[in-house]
Amino acid sequence: MKIQTKEPLVSIVIPTCNRARLLKKTIQSIYEQSYENWEALFIDDISADDTEKMLCDLSNRDSRIRYFRIPLDNNKGISKYLNYGLKNAKGKYISRIDDDDYWYDKDTLKIQVEFLESNPDYVLVGGGVIIVNDKYKMIFRYFKREKDEEIRNSALIANPFAHNTVMFRKEEILSIGGYSNIEFAEDWDLWLRVGKLGKMYNFRKYFTCYLTSGQNTSYKKLQKQSKFIIKLIKKYKNEYPNYYKGLFLSYIQYLYSFLPSPLTSRLHTFLIYFKRQNF
């Protein structure tokens, strides 16, 4: 396979665990990208399914597939896996996609690389997301705030980037210590830190399909997550505007987490839709 050696290398970092069936669609979407100068780093938390065999077989056929099987002790979330990927990445740019999601736009990497190459004052870019169910049927779609000023104005109100759509320069992220070793919102925390280094931008293009189902851990542990987000907003209150609005909405989410689970499960999709469309 011919590789675009004149273009900067993009390292795609993908933590995974027991997602062999879903990973197939993720991998397919990587191979369908029009930008070919990439490597994909799969950081595996000792999966018990066919993940190891599938990725080892694939890496033997394609050197761009790099497989790491590493149990990480005392891990609070995926931060250690992401940082492991960052430190082992060979690329100038880091791209993120989760092991149960896939790229919708075949030009995602190409669009982001060209933008970052042409705009060195930008440190982080992302795009839109299509939410799909376990049959890969669209539930809804959304964009985050587009321009740098808009992103900063909403950065304490809601996570300003969809993690599975972003691209950033590896060295800039390593210069601020990579992802913090925290259990929740490790991506949001990173955006708030990297935003001090330069500008940010969200393309008005749908880059990624995000699978929402019972297996997505981001929908669980809502009370602990809500409490952490309140602390996060307080931490950066002097760095970004709309602190009180962000704090108020986070307390609303915290109170919501105490509602009976049968009620929250029925309201969950609607509230995700409402939050994504408005914040």
Contact between 128 and 207 (Cβ < 8 Å): yes
Tell me what pLDDT residue 142 has: 95
Q: For residue 5, is it within any domain?
A: no
Which pLDDT score is estimated for 229? 95
Q: How many domains does the chain have?
A: 1
In sequence order, what are the residues at sequence separation of 6 or more whose Cβ sits closer than 8 angstroms to the Cβ of residue 233? 156, 243, 246, 247, 250
Contacts of 235 (CB under 8 A, 6+ apart): none
pLDDT reported for residue 28: 98
Per-residue pLDDT tens over the stretch 175-207: 999 999 999 999 999 999 999 999 999 999 999
What was the pLDDT predicted at 180?
Answer: 96
Segment-wise mean pLDDT, segments of 10 residues, the chain, 279 residues = 71 96 97 98 96 98 97 76 97 97 98 98 98 94 97 97 98 97 95 98 98 57 88 97 95 84 65 68
Are 279 and 154 contacting, i.e. CB atoms less than 8 angstroms apart? yes
DSSP SS3 for 108: helix
- Segments forming the whole domain that contains residue 237: 10-278
Within a domain: residue 79?
yes
pLDDT number for residue 164: 97
pLDDT the model gives residue 236? 97
Report d(CA 117, CA 128) in Å as an integer: 21
| Structure-block tokens of residue 185 | 């919102």
Question: Is residue 2, in this structure, part of any structural domain at all?
Answer: no
Give the 3-state DSSP-derived string for 172-217, with helices as H, strands as E and coil as C: HHHHCCCCCCCCCCHHHHHHHHHCCCCEEEEEEEEEEEEECCCCCH
For residue 220, give every residue at least 6 positions away whose Cβ sits within 8 Å of its Cβ, in sequence order, or none: none
Q: What is the C-alpha separation between 125 and 158, in angstroms, rounded?
A: 16
Within a domain: residue 1? no
Phi-psi region for residue 172, left (φ > 0), alpha (ψ -120 to 50) or beta? alpha
**Would you state the structure tokens that stand for residue 188, as one six-digit string?**
């949001």
Strand 167-169 to 93-96 pairing:
antiparallel
Residue 263 resides in a domain:
yes
CATH code for the domain of 38: 3.90.550.10
Q: Can you give the pTM of this predicted structure? A: 0.91
Could you give the residue ranges of the DSSP H alpha helices within the chain? Answer: 20-31, 51-61, 79-88, 108-118, 148-154, 170-175, 186-194, 222-235, 243-256, 261-278
Both tokens assigned to 270 = 């609607």
